[in-house]
Amino acid sequence: MSIREIVKMGNPVLREVAEDFSVEEIKSTETKDLLEDMWDSLEAAGGIGLAAPQIGISKQLAIIKLSSESDRYPDMEDSETYVIFNPKISVIDDNEQGFWEGCLSIPGLRGYVERPRKIRVDFLDENAAQKSIEIENFLATVFQHEIDHLYGTLYVEKMKDITTLTFEEEMVLEG
């Protein structure tokens, strides 16, 4: 187990389309070790989601866990723990909702991003079982943000108004 370095915007790996996992790869010891490192790295960074490309691995894997103890996102309720391999998004409700997004690969900044409110995500879980979940609200935004990482996209490209790009210390967090 170890904490991996999180690469930052400008690193080419964040612009690649990540490769799918095979079932055998998902079940391998290497992948279980990688997952442990990703959870350690996410916890150390105080984040709520991490995609494999953010630690320099261009593979279709992300982890998500909303935590009520997050300093980065106050007033959030705990979520389940999600490990998603090879995820695919289908939009269920394309009415958009906006949140102030941040990214461990773009430290210190937030930007206002609007995304579809409700989605379905089909993926393989850590046992390589096929899963399908429907999610909405902030959790849907977090999934879309992390899955964007697997296709070389960062939240700043999703902003409609670049003037909302803001340093965290300039933000007045509510609550």
Pick the catalytic residue from 25, 146, 157, 169: 146
Residue 18 is a binding residue for Zn ion (CB under 5 A): no
**Which 8-state DSSP code applies to residue 54?**
G
170 catalytically annotated: no
Q: Least distance in Å: CB of 24 to Zn ion? A: 28
| Per CB under 5 A, 103 contacts Zn ion | yes
Please report how close the Cβ of residue 155 comes to Zn ion at its closest, in angstroms: 6
Q: How far apart are CA 111 and CA 132, in angstroms?
A: 29
Nearer to Zn ion, 64 or 103 (CB): 103
Judged by CB, which is closer to Zn ion: 26, or 150?
A: 150
Could you tell me the smallest distance in angstroms from the CB atom of residue 50 to Zn ion? 8
Question: Residue 49 and residue 74: Cα distance in Å, rounded?
Answer: 15
Q: Using alpha carbons, list the distances in angstroms from residue 169 to 8, 31, 52, 81.
A: 19, 37, 28, 29
- Tell me, residue by residue from 148 to 167, as one string, x for binding to Zn ion by CB under 5 A and - for no binding: --------------------
C-beta neighbour count of 80 within 10 angstroms: 9
Q: Single out the segment in contact with Zn ion by CB under 5 A; choices: 77-85, 103-111, 117-125, 130-138.
A: 103-111
DSSP code of residue 144: H
Instruction: In whole angstroms, give the CA distance from residue 56 to residue 33.
Output: 15
CB of 6 to Zn ion, least distance (A): 9
Q: What count of other Cβ atoms lies within 10 Å of the Cβ of residue 30?
A: 8
Name residues contacting Zn ion, limited to 115-144 (CB under 5 A).
none
Give Cα 7 to chain centroid, integer Å: 14
Site string for Zn ion, 43-62 (x = CB under 5 A): --------------------
Q: Which of 154, 162, 74 is nearest to 107 (CA)?
A: 154
**Catalytic (active-site) positions:** 146
Footprint of Zn ion (CB under 5 A):
103
